Structure 1
Amino acid sequence: MKFQATLLSLALCLCSSIAFGQIVDKKNLIEKNASLEKVADGFGFTEGPAVTRLGDVYFSDQPNNKIFKWSFFTNKTELFKENAGRSNGMFVDKDGKIIACADEKNQIWRIDEDGSHEVIIESFQGKKLNGPNDLFITPSGTMYVTDPLYKRDYWTREAVSEQGGEHLYLVSADRLQIFKVDENLVKPNGIVGTYDGKTLYVADIEANKTYKYDIIEDGFLTNRQLFTERGSDGMTIDVKGNLYLTGDKGVWIYNRKGEEIGHIPVPEKWTANVVFAGPDRKTLFITASEAVYKIRMKVHGTY
């Protein structure tokens, strides 16, 4: 019986390993002997990780309409804000404010450290946005926002685009002007840019593609190129220019040329987003369905 039990245990472990998969790290980006660690679970669906100057992370539990804060030094997760506007993608700006895609009412919010908020964008040319999903802010303050249309069960309006499509927007650094900068996307979603503010990456999740743009002096985009034949829900970037994409089987890592160089499997139904955390920006923090995870890296992130 003991031998049979051992065989059964081995078989179960093997099946679990096959189902979960092994980490692939072709360029030694992950710290030696590091493994994926679950930080916290019990959420509805986690999204929008945004790192603070000190390396802590805010993230949202969108179905439960809450924002949580994870502390790097204590490894504890605490409730930060209820009634969070169904926040999705978020970014901490240079003033320490959380800028959140609050798609409950198709808005973008600025949230203070005490949890109070103000609406900074709620329409374009007098018409509702579809439902801001994710955003990126350059060092100069220019903001880019993806605006796909996902029908939400908490909406009281019709799930029809008043904008006539699903677009990518530019918001000026003073937040007074907003422009469409790409109207030729099926469903724009994940977004990130380089730290020098010269390059932007945007995932068209429904077309299963990720594009690369040059950012010119006035913030407008030029030279759109296909980066890789993979879409993404959320994404981040490291100091070497490697791009980290998310989806149904964890996190994929691509080099500057768009070549796949790594894969971090995550044992959840969906991996939504990712950010580099910690004061050294060497902890990869991952939001995935009902839980959040972390793994230590050799390479630094840029935000």
Structure 2
Amino acid sequence: MTCEHGTRRVTRTELDGSVTVIADSYRGRRLNSPNDVVVKSDNSIWFSDPHYGIMTDYEGFRAEQELPCHVYRVEPSGKIEAVLADFACPNGLAFSPDESRLYVADTGRMFSSDSRHIRVFDVAPDGRLAGGEVFCAINPGCADGFRMDDDGNLWSSAADGVHCLAPDGHLMGKILVPETVSNLCFGGRAKHQLFIAATTSIYAITLNRSGAQNP
């Protein structure tokens, strides 16, 4: 699954190398610049759509904004629905290990003083969301991409590296990196290696935790 700023769409690359477009518009209007995506165990696809890729030519191509900045869900049937509409600019997102909670970062509008934090929502069996309280604020920097481990801890990007937050939102510790971190993921055979995407480098570290898998 890929979020494409330049083409303003979400795609899936198939095993034979062909590309399937999952979403590029909503109610006849072009998406802004899909940023992060996660697939739930029921095969629904959830993605954030901030405007960063169309505000300048730096991350995409400057263009007129046709839609607000929403979080969307694409059902296995292909139906797309805006599920969260009260964000300045939604960014990273991830489900808890049992998929009962959805975490979504709000990194604020470009060149603004919007609050930058991660919010958490309860997920009903039918996919409806409730709640939305602030889970934590990342400082320094902001939560761009993040992932969950098997114990329900959240590992978030930050300006000084990676922050590990407990299920109640308190900061457990940091992995300091000499560059600003934008995203990360678990990998390796046991899913206990953390791969970290920073400004100019990719870092890796072996942990005593494993990345969360679909229930």
Give the 3 Å change call, closer, same or farther, for CA 105–152 of structure 1 in structure 2.
farther
Per the alignment, in what secondary structure is the counterpart of residue 12 of structure 2? strand
Report what 2:111 is aligned to.
Answer: none
- Over the residues paired in the alignment, what is the CA RMSD in angstroms? 1.5
**Aligned 8 A contact 1:276 1:284 in 2:** yes
The 2-side partners of 1:289 and 1:137 are apart by: 26
The 2-side partners of 1:279 and 1:189 are apart by: 28
Give the 3 Å change call, closer, same or farther, for CA 246–156 of structure 1 in structure 2.
closer
Select the residue among 71, 96, 108 that pairs with 1:194. 96
1:133-155: CA deviation from partner (whole Å, max 9, x where unpaired): 00111111122111000124175
Select the residue among 106, 110, 130 that pairs with 2:12. 110
The 2-side partners of 1:156 and 1:267 are apart by: 29
1:220-263: CA deviation from partner (whole Å, max 9, x where unpaired): 21122210123411000111111011121110110011000010
2:21 equivalent to 1:119? yes
Q: Which amino acid aligns with 1:132?
A: P
For residues 282-301 of structure 1, what are the structure 2 equivalents within 5 Å? 282-301=192-211
Count of residue pairs brought into register by the alignment = 201
Deviation at 1:289, TM superposition (A): 1.5
Unaligned runs of at least 5 residues, structure 1? 1-98
The 2-side partners of 1:228 and 1:100 are apart by: 27
- Kindly report structure 1 stretches of 4+ aligned residues shifted beyond 3 Å: 154-157
Q: Which amino acid aligns with 1:255?
A: A
The 1-side partners of 2:4 and 2:15 are apart by: 17
Report what 2:112 is aligned to.
Answer: none
The 2-side partners of 1:186 and 1:120 are apart by: 24
2:74 equivalent to 1:171? yes
Instruction: Return the TM-score normalized by structure 2.
Output: 0.88
Instruction: Return the TM-score normalized by structure 1.
Output: 0.63
For residues 19-58 of structure 1, what are the structure 2 equivalents within 5 Å? none
**Aligned 8 A contact 1:102 1:108 in 2:** yes
Report the identity percentage. Answer: 32
> Which has the bigger relative contact order, CA under 8 A and spacing at least 6?
1
For residues 203-282 of structure 1, what are the structure 2 equivalents within 5 Å? 203-206=105-108, 207-230=115-138, 231-268=142-179, 270-282=180-192
The 2-side partners of 1:248 and 1:147 are apart by: 22
Larger Rg: 1
Deviation at 1:195, TM superposition (A): 2.8
1:167-221: CA deviation from partner (whole Å, max 9, x where unpaired): 11111123x1111111111111111112322111000012211000111122121
Unaligned runs of at least 5 residues, structure 2? 109-114
